[in-house]
Amino acid sequence: MVSDSNEFFEYLKPVYSDCIRFCKYLTKDLNKFNYEDIFQQSMLVACEKFYSLNDKSKFKSWIFTIILRESKNYYRKNFWKKFISIEEITDSLNLEYTQDSIEDIDKKTLLMSALKKLSKKEKESILLFELGGFSIEEIKDIQNEKSISSVKSRLSRSRKKLKIFINKNKPDFNINNRETLENETIKILQRTNG
């Protein structure tokens, strides 16, 4: 089991960040406790079942499938967790990443709001495609779909929805404009000082 777990971590390391990102944006509310819980539970299940994975080249799609399943289970079982005292909640994993600038936060918040407009399946597909980097064929297998065309149309539909929402609600993403504004402010300050 221990040797298995070491091997498991060897395979996990290259996809570790991908898994956390997928887990994080798959959760409904970006709640830190929620996605850390889902991630931790998924990793425990994956580590336990790792011996049963015969084709190790499919590790990434296999672990993403587990995350998807555990995420569904988490919200199904969440009702009972409401009654567990705070002391009983397992300690946080403290998953950290490099801090964002205000502009990055704007974009992420906007994307999160846009993702909320998608259906569960649509959200899963687009995240698998964009964050997981899976091909349509792989997404078909992960989502247990019968045809590629249904995945294709779902992806196209989701992207269209995201595009409409983001462009309707976007702040000014244009960096050039921002630079111009900064320059003008500096000029005004120089003039007043001068």
Partner 1 sequence: MKQSKFYKEQMDEENVNSCFDEIRNENYDNSFENFKIKMNYRIKSSSKLNLSDKFIYLLNLNKLKLTCLVLIALTIAACSYPVKSVDTLGYLISFNAKSENVSDISKQIGNMKIQNSYSLKVFKSSDNTDKFIKFNMMLQNVNEESSTQIKNDISRINGVENIVLTSLSETNSQPVYAYLLKNFMNLNVNPSDKSPEVLTEEINENLKKAGMINTNVKVVIENGVRRLILENSSPNDNFEIKLGDDKTMDVLKIKRLDSNDVNQGSILSEDELRKKVKTENPNLNDDDIKIIKEIDSNGKEVLKVEISKED
* Rounded CA separation 148/26 (Å): 22
Q: Which of 173, 16, 19 is nearest to 101 (CA)?
A: 173
Residue with tokens 């003039």: 191
131 forms part of the interface with partner 1 (CB under 8 A): yes
* Rounded CA separation 91/148 (Å): 41
- Residues 67-96: x/- map of binding to partner 1 (CB under 8 A)? -------------x--xx---x----xxxx
- Residues 6+ away with beta carbon under 8 Å from 106: 171
43 forms part of the interface with partner 1 (CB under 8 A): yes
**Residue 107 half-sphere exposure toward CB, CA atoms < 13 A:** 9
21 forms part of the interface with partner 1 (CB under 8 A): yes
- Residues 141-180: x/- map of binding to partner 1 (CB under 8 A)? ------------------x--xx--xx--x--x-------
* Rounded CA separation 74/21 (Å): 17
Which of 17-25, 60-68, 140-148, 179-187 is the region at the interface with partner 1 (rule: CB under 8 A)? 17-25
Q: Which residue, 40 or 143, has its beta carbon nearer to partner 1?
A: 40
Which of residues 1, 89, 181, 189 is near partner 1 by CB under 8 A?
A: 1
Phi-psi region of 133 (alpha: psi -120 to 50; beta: other; left: phi over 0): left
Q: Which residue, 83 or 192, has its beta carbon nearer to partner 1?
A: 83
Residue type, 121: K
139 forms part of the interface with partner 1 (CB under 8 A): no
* Rounded CA separation 138/143 (Å): 9
Contact set with partner 1 (CB under 8 A): 1-2, 5, 9, 13, 16-17, 20-21, 24-25, 40, 43-44, 47, 80, 83-84, 88, 93-98, 100, 104, 107-108, 110-111, 114, 130-131, 159, 162-163, 166-167, 170, 173
